[in-house]
Amino acid sequence: MQAETRVFSDREELARAAARRWLDIYRESVARHGAFYVALAGGSTPRRLYRILACPDISAAVEWQRVHFFFGDERAVPPDHPESNFGMARETLLEHVPVPEGNVHRMETELRGMDAVASRYESLLTDIVPAGGEGIPQLDLILLGIGPDGHTASLFPGTDILQQTGRYVAPVYVEQKACWRVSVTLPVIEEARHVLFLVAGEEKQPVVKQLLTDPGGAPVYPVQMPHYRGSVELYLDAAAAGPELSTEQALQT
Ligand code: 6PG
């Protein structure tokens, strides 16, 4: 996986740099086609980034009516559940900025029938997001995290969704978490114009080491499986990067 890698001293510096990059890509996208189609990541690392984007000085620079929010994945819980990725984004960002409600597209995973939930979300993606090559919805930016097992979105090791190329959104039962999730599939990640990974914490070091030491090698982890066609950037804090990488060391891996 070829990625432009940057290492930051801590989570705060990582989040601030990610906010600057988010704004860069927002501006590029609006200049290109008058809108910004962005998929948010779940988990804990993006929280600080979302809070920074909601700050008045940054928020005032964004024409929120041009922004369409999607989600890379969602857990099978209601939107007000502590585990909800949508709920986390709403609490940290969405309820603090004037983005039209109709521009926030969450996965309705509280409903029964994960397959139907995934199919409806796929229709939403293809209806709203302009298609890139081969008719695949082309997000301007997809924010992603990486788990200690090398998963990204809900593409976990050993799950069937890793072979799912006929659908853009699919349900997945994650044994490791004993729960259902709905996630975008590899084609959507591959098609995104920009992919920005936010990775923090010492527990991520083994995965990061693999990504950086063998970028062209055969995939070991799900995050290495997509044939990324857009730009790929990896933002690390020092804890995830490990002692070999100095902070603010821009590497082309
Ligand atoms: C989720 C995310 C998942 C997350 C990674 C990293 O729903 O949990 O989609 O892929 O990004 O597990 O999570 P942290 O940011 O909490 O380390």
253 within domain boundaries: no
Mutate to test the pocket of ligand 1, among 107, 149, 154, 181 (most ligand atoms within 8 A of CB): 154
pTM confidence score: 0.96
Its domain, for residue 125, covers: 4-242
Mutate to test the pocket of ligand 1, among 47, 48, 70, 73 (most ligand atoms within 8 A of CB): 73
Mutate to test the pocket of ligand 1, among 48, 88, 106, 152 (most ligand atoms within 8 A of CB): 152
107 within domain boundaries: yes
Going edge to edge, which strands form the sheet with 36-40?
A: 67-71, 36-40, 141-144, 194-199, 231-237, 4-8, 251-252
249 within domain boundaries: no
20 within domain boundaries: yes
Q: How far is the CA of 31 from the centre of ligand 1 (A)?
A: 30
Reported in sequence order, the residue ranges of the chain that DSSP labels E, i.e. its strands, are 4-8, 36-40, 67-71, 73-75, 141-144, 169-174, 179-184, 194-199, 231-237, 251-252
185-243 pLDDT tens trace: 999 999 999 999 999 999 999 999 999 987 788 999 999 999 999 999 999 999 999 98
Number of domains in the chain: 1
248 within domain boundaries: no
250 within domain boundaries: no
Query: In this structure, are residues 67 and 35 in contact, taking their beta carbons and an 8 Å threshold?
Result: yes
Q: Which residues make beta-bridge pairs with 129?
A: none
126 within domain boundaries: yes
176 within domain boundaries: yes
150 C-beta closer than 6 A to ligand 1: no
159 C-beta closer than 6 A to ligand 1: no
CATH number of the domain that residue 182 is part of: 3.40.50.1360
163-189 pLDDT tens trace: 999 999 999 999 999 999 999 999 999
Lowest mean pLDDT among 9-13, 98-102, 133-137: 133-137
49-108 pLDDT tens trace: 999 999 999 999 999 999 999 999 999 999 999 999 999 999 999 999 999 999 999 999
What distance in Å separates the CA atoms of residue 44 and residue 239, rounded to the nearest whole number? 15
